[in-house]
Amino acid sequence: MAERMRGSGGLPPRRDENTRRPPTLLGALRVALRTRHYSPRTEAAYVAWVKRFIAFHRRRHPRELGERDVAHFLGALATEGGVSASTQNQALAALLFLYREVLEAPIAWPREVVHAKRPRRLPVVLTRAEVAQLLEALRGVGRVPHLVALLLYGAGLRLSEVLALRVKDLDTASRVLTVRSGKGQKDRVTPLPEAALPLLASHLARVERLHRRDRGTGAGAVALPAALARKYPAAATDWRWQWVFPAARRYRDRATGQVMRHHLDPTVVQRAVRAAVQACGLTKPATCHTFRHSFATHLLESGYDLRTIQELLGHTDVRTTMIYTHVLNRGGRAVRSPLDALG
């Protein structure tokens, strides 16, 4: 009876497997990015740029557009939007990925593009005394942000890399820290600062107690990279895979319904660093990334070679690392002022 009523005003018609609606353009873009293991931040950025591209061309489908339309969009970003060169390059990368991997209609590199100017800026670098002053101020702001800052400066890490650390990535016996899938999906090792070990040990003890409490309530799982959750289902609750800096709140995974815990949100540390900079009266516009710049510069000052520092920072091109040589050669560091020679 139910079968006769389907599609005749009674029950809704049963959708056949072969009649499912095809994925939307943005849905297909997300699938392509996740299949190729792009980071969630890159996925969000690429999706946003494709949306802006479609809106710019009055909601025309990208299949109807081509190289000249891409060039027009990128040129408008530079001339009307005033975006930086790196932002314009990110938009171009998103559109090239869309045409190559999703639409399977690769376009050539746009030639008629008004390029945004890339300013030549030196990174903000703190002196050793200023680093010590800022770290001391962070101690008063919060225990966890203080420890995160110790690793930012002591190991030369990006903030995202510190927060993505898992317990298994710390080798306290060998004083080595492993960064997994850093920028460019590259792994690397960097020294684990010995000065941070006592604080790190007490912090991990607290995190382990928190993990045990979570396990006792049926939670205690974390998200795993790629398909590891299917290959090793028990790894999600394994202590070795837990975040070194877990978030205070838990969440329920929409797909599995499991109560899980993510790592600490970066804004927690960013706000703490801003507060510490104001508290200690630094005039330099220091941020979380300033610790990484200071790490590289201070290693150069100590006589370490560029190739070693390049590996520690995870730079693909040594020219990226060479910017710190310009920091060392600034004005008063390399040249004695003639005013001082007047006696």
pLDDT tens per residue across span 119-166: 667 788 999 999 999 999 999 888 999 999 999 999 999 999 999 999
Number of domains, the chain: 2
The CATH code of the domain that includes 66 is 1.10.150.130
pLDDT at position 78 is: 83
Q: Kindly report which listed range (7-16, 60-69, 260-269) carries the lowest average pLDDT score.
A: 7-16
Find, among 185, 165, 180, the residue nearest to 33 by Cα.
185
Pick the catalytic residue from 146, 158, 263, 293. 158
Q: Is the pLDDT of residue 55 over 90?
A: yes
Residue 176 has pLDDT above 50, yes or no: yes
44 and 187 in a single domain? The answer is: no
Q: Give the number of other Cβ atoms within 10 Å of residue 17's Cβ.
A: 5
Residues 202 and 281 in one domain: yes
Residue 179 has pLDDT above 70, yes or no: yes
CA dihedral 63, 64, 67, 72 (to 10 degrees): -120
In this prediction, residue 11 carries a pLDDT of 45
Asked if 140 and 266 sit in the same domain, the reply is: yes
Question: Does the annotation mark 315 as catalytic?
Answer: yes
Q: What percent of the chain is predicted at pLDDT more than 70?
A: 85
**Of 57, 72, 180, 183, which one is the catalytic site residue?**
183
Q: What confidence category does residue 318 fall into, taking pLDDT thresholds of 50, 70 and 90?
A: confident
pTM: 0.73
Report the distance separating Cα 343 and Cα 339, nearest Å.
8
Query: Which CATH number goes with the domain that contains 309?
Result: 1.10.443.10
Residues 318 and 172 in one domain: yes
Do 90 and 137 share a structural domain? no
Tokens coding 44? 């969000």
Are 189 and 275 contained in the same domain? yes
Q: Is 21 a catalytic residue?
A: no
Q: pLDDT band at 3, cuts 50/70/90?
A: very low
* Contact in structure between 50 and 95 (CB atoms under 8 Å): yes
Pick 186 or 308 by higher pLDDT: 308
Residues 142 and 85 in one domain: no
Catalytic residue among 46, 99, 153, 324: 324
Q: Which of 30, 292, 293, 298 is catalytic?
A: 292
Is pLDDT above 80 for 29? yes
* 158 classed as catalytic: yes
Angle between helix 306-313 and 288-301 (nearest 10)? 160
Q: Average pLDDT of the chain?
A: 84
pLDDT tens digits for 257-288?
Answer: 888 899 999 999 999 999 999 999 999 999 99
- The continuous run of DSSP H or E covering 251 comes out as strand 246-252
**Is 183 part of the annotated catalytic residue set?**
yes
pLDDT given at position 2: 42
Closest to 256 (Cα-Cα) out of 282, 240, 285, 236: 236
Return the closest-CA partner of residue 242 out of 206, 217, 287, 282.
206
Residue 94 has pLDDT above 90, yes or no: yes
Query: Do 321 and 266 share a structural domain?
Result: yes
More confident residue, 107 or 13: 107
Domain hosting 90: range is: 25-102
